[in-house]
C-alpha cells in the first residue's frame, strides 16, 4: 500500500526511504518513432527531461528496451549526476526485435541482462525501483511468474536494486 504523506501529493514507497511526487515523467516517447532509435531532436529530448525535473517531477519511468537503450542514455546525458531525490523507475521482462517487435524476455539470463543494461545505460550502481513486465503485448499470456520473480529477488539481494 502506498501512503500519502502530505497534501502536496507525495507518497512513500512501503519498506523504503523513497518518496515520490504524484506526477512523474514517462520516458517511453523520448526515443524515435515507434519507440525505436534516437529521437528526431536529441537536444529537445534532453531539454524535456531537464524541464520535467526543474518543474518538480522526482520520478521518471523508463526501460532500457525503449529505443532500445536510447531513452536511458538520454536520461543519463540529461540528468547525471542525478539529483538526490530523483527516483528512476525502470522495467524488465521484454526486449525489442530487429524488426521493432516487442518480445517477452523473462528467462533468467534475459532478466539479468536487462538489469545490467539498465544499470550501465543509466550510469547507476543500483536501481531505485524495478517493475516486471509480464503478459502478452497484444493479448494475455499464460504461465507462472515464479521464476522471473525469483531471479529479481536474487538480484535485489545482490544490491542491484
Catalytic residue numbers read 66
DSSP 86: -
C-alpha to C-alpha distance for 113 and 33, rounded to whole angstroms: 25
Do the beta carbons of residue 59 and residue 88 sit within 8 Å?
A: yes
Tell me how far apart the alpha carbons of residues 105 and 116 are, in angstroms, rounded to a whole number.
Answer: 14
The label of the residue with cell 497534501 reads 7
What DSSP string describes 104-145? E--SHHHHHHHHHHHHHHHT-SS-SEEEEP-S-SSS---S--
DSSP 3-state of 150: helix
Q: What is the distance between the alpha carbons of residues 28 and 140, in angstroms, rounded to a whole number? A: 22
Amino acid at each position: 500500500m502506498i501512503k500519502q504523506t502530505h497534501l502536496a501529493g507525495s507518497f512513500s514507497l512501503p519498506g523504503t526511504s523513497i518518496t515520490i511526487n504524484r506526477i512523474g515523467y514517462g520516458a517511453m516517447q523520448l526515443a524515435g518513432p515507434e519507440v525505436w532509435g534516437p529521437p528526431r531532436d536529441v537536444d529537445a529530448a534532453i531539454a524535456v527531461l531537464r524541464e520535467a525535473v526543474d518543474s518538480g517531477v522526482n520520478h521518471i519511468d523508463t526501460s532500457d528496451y525503449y529505443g532500445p537503450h536510447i531513452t536511458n542514455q538520454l536520461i543519463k546525458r540529461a540528468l547525471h549526476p542525478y539529483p538526490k531525490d530523483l527516483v528512476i523507475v525502470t522495467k524488465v521482462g521484454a526486449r525489442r526485435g530487429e524488426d521493432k517487435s516487442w518480445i517477452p524476455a523473462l528467462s533468467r539470463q534475459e532478466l539479468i541482462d536487462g538489469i545490467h543494461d539498465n544499470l550501465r545505460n543509466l550510469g547507476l550502481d543500483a536501481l531505485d525501483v524495478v517493475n516486471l513486465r509480464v503478459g502478452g503485448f497484444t493479448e494475455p499470456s499464460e504461465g507462472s511468474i515464479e521464476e522471473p520473480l525469483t531471479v529479481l529477488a536474487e538480484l535485489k539481494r545482490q544490491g542491484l536494486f
